[in-house]
Structure 1
Amino acid sequence: MELEVRHLRALCAIADTGSLHKAARRLGVSQPSLTTQLRRIENSLGAELFLRERSGCRPTPVGRAVLSRARPLLADMGALVAEAKAAAARASGPRLRIGSTASRALPGWLGRLRRRLPGTDISLHMDVSPNALLRKVAAGGLDVAFVHEVEGCPLTVPDELAVRVLVEREPQFVSMARDHPAAGAAVVELTDLADDRWIVDPTVDGEWEGVRRVLSAAGIDPQLLHGDYHTAAALIAVGEAVAPCQPTSDPRGDMAIRPLRGDPLAVRLLLVSRPGEPELYGSVYGDLEAAYRDVAAGSVAYRQWLRRHKSPLLAVPAA
């Protein structure tokens, strides 16, 4: 068996995430498939590359040696592909490649950009991992990325990237079943959720660590579940779990969205870009800011929170 680029990507993903489960999610494959692939790579090299422990996967000395050669090879390959695509884009016309984590501001942002930049090929790349998007911008695979940074869990922003802060501190609300006892309150005490299971997606950078830190600081030690937020919604609706959520989230008929007392959970919203064309990226930021204002004002619970905190987000921007 000869090592291919996809094998090197798999090894780096396992090392970066420290988990076969998280690496599989990042690569878009099943965990059994990735486990089988790793076993074949190790058999081909005749050495174990990772120690499988209860806390995750840790590179062996041989594994670290392989990774030290794999990373620059992947970086060179990424740069080659990015340069080739950039050359093709220059030949075929203007292009804007956007990356983003999940946000309800995305549809409005894209709509504004398409109206502002007619004739521009605007593409969107979604990822649950902000750090993965930052790496893609740095490698030239994206022009800009809209990402969130969980409070207390700073992102790794490459030095060469330009960063603009959209929202310095966006509170994270909590979603729960409509008939949850705490749903009757306008603002929920964290201790009122002490007996609930909390479900978070561990593949979202900082999410697991941020929630665990806040609950621990409040003296709460509930059961924490791993799961994506599509699965979470079904469990929340029937009262099996609660979960942190964006304040712009729309409540459903079977779910309630409420702010937490003191806003212990929060994220910072950032727009990251490669240096160059500041006028273009300034317009991109302006359109994102306008789209975010729209969804913030359109969310009842968030709009009330913004009013209570006299947020400038509710102010009408100057024309």
Structure 2
Amino acid sequence: MELEVRHLRVVCAIADAGSVHKAARVLGMAQPSLTAQLRRIERALGGQLFIRQSDGCRPTAFGHQLLTRARPLLAEMKGLTAEMRAAAARAAQAPQLRIGSTPSRTLPGWARRLRSRYPESVPALQTDVSSNALLRMVAAGQLDVAFVHEMEGTRLRFPPGLRQRVLLEREPGFLAVAEHHPAAGRQVIRLEDLADERWMMDRTADGEWESLYRAFLAVGLTPRLLHGDYSATALLVATGEAVTVCQATSTGWDGVVPRRLEGDPIGWRWLLAARTEAELEAVYDDLAAAYREAVEQVPAYRAMALPTVRPGPPAAPPVPDSSPHSA
């Protein structure tokens, strides 16, 4: 038998009460059960802890040795329990900022700024590749705000009542390609030169594969598409088995580099959605600053003529889209 905290409590209770009978009442146990448990503890430790007498019991030298170690441990456990209960109560009372976002390099800088601005809050972040799924969560009250993107040529399905503020009207889509790929040697790549490549796309990311398909059709080509999640995409692109579209703020990942597509044929709009203007106002400035910070880390994107990202007046409420092809 391994000695546990509850066994230490039994030994200390008997020592404090002066008898097994009194300790049993304090612990809410039957005396025979407590006596049997004490015997099991003594057998496990290999020595007698108490001398039984007609008027009670007193610790042996071996028992005193255990009590000397046990009492501080129990006091520390009691303090730890009280401390954690107090922390849990504070967390339950603290306001929680619930943020949703599609994957973006803006997130680390945004989260850092929000923690600094609202140190009393407990931010919670949920990411999803589907902008529409995040918008539904905001409308249902499961999220306070959602930072999402809308692919060019598609429309997001805004639930009624949501407010939005546009962060950037158009961010160009870049190419993500293995660093050993022949195209990686050029800073700007023509879409036509990638006609024979296999393009990896996530079908659950609203509008992304449709946007790529339209871009290829515009130059008279049909892309070879593979479908998989972001993890599979990262692996296949790094090994040169596929290429994909990435955000202009991407710095690449292990074995993968971002490159600009000539003419910027693919793009998307970034926006923030919430149920109220106050919720938008509370986080928008920090989001805009975080996006500018992300741009600064990518020389190829920073060098482009970009519209200024700054706080502005709220956009008009979006018109709900009921089109079945608007995903």
Q: Is 1:148 the counterpart of 2:143 in the alignment?
A: no
Q: Is 1:249 the counterpart of 2:245 in the alignment?
A: no
Q: Is 1:293 the counterpart of 2:289 in the alignment?
A: no
Maintained 8 Å contact 1:251/1:257 = yes
Aligned-partner Cα distance in 2 for 1:181–1:90? 53
1:150 and 1:239, CA in 2 relative to 1: closer, same or farther beyond 3 A? same
1:5-20 correspondence runs (5 A): none
Runs of 4+ more than 4 Å apart: 88-91
**What amino acid sits opposite 1:299 in the alignment?**
V
**What amino acid sits opposite 2:138 in the alignment?**
V
1:36-115 correspondence runs (5 A): 92-115=93-116
Q: Match of 2:57?
A: none
The Cα of 1:212 is off from its aligned counterpart by 1.1
SS of match in other structure, 1:172 = strand
Q: Is 1:312 the counterpart of 2:308 in the alignment?
A: yes
Maintained 8 Å contact 2:213/2:223 = no
CA deviation profile, 1:198-241 (whole Å, cap 9, x unmatched):
11000101112111111122211231000112211221122211
In structure 1, list runs of 5 or more residues that go unmatched: 1-87
Q: Match of 2:211?
A: 210
Aligned-partner Cα distance in 2 for 1:288–1:174? 24
Maintained 8 Å contact 2:201/2:209 = yes
**What amino acid sits opposite 1:285 in the alignment?**
Y
**What amino acid sits opposite 1:312 in the alignment?**
T
1:293 and 1:310, CA in 2 relative to 1: closer, same or farther beyond 3 A? closer
Maintained 8 Å contact 1:257/1:301 = no
Q: Match of 1:177?
A: 178
The Cα of 1:177 is off from its aligned counterpart by 1.7
Aligned-partner Cα distance in 1 for 2:92–2:233? 45
1:93 and 1:229, CA in 2 relative to 1: closer, same or farther beyond 3 A? closer
What CA RMSD, in Å, does the superposition of the two structures yield over aligned residues?
2.3
CA deviation profile, 1:237-266 (whole Å, cap 9, x unmatched):
222111000111113462221111111110
Identity %: 52
Larger Cα-atom Rg: 2
The Cα of 1:90 is off from its aligned counterpart by 12
The Cα of 1:312 is off from its aligned counterpart by 2.9
1:245 and 1:310, CA in 2 relative to 1: closer, same or farther beyond 3 A? closer
1:146-295 correspondence runs (5 A): 146-252=147-253, 254-275=255-276, 278=278, 281-295=280-294
SS of match in other structure, 1:95 = coil
The Cα of 1:311 is off from its aligned counterpart by 4.2
1:90 and 1:144, CA in 2 relative to 1: closer, same or farther beyond 3 A? farther
SS of match in other structure, 1:142 = coil
CA deviation profile, 1:133-171 (whole Å, cap 9, x unmatched):
101111111110000101111101123111000010000
SS of match in other structure, 1:99 = strand
1:162 and 1:310, CA in 2 relative to 1: closer, same or farther beyond 3 A? closer
**What amino acid sits opposite 2:209 in the alignment?**
W
CA deviation profile, 1:277-306 (whole Å, cap 9, x unmatched):
x2x5313000000011001111122223x2
SS of match in other structure, 2:166 = strand
Maintained 8 Å contact 1:89/1:95 = no
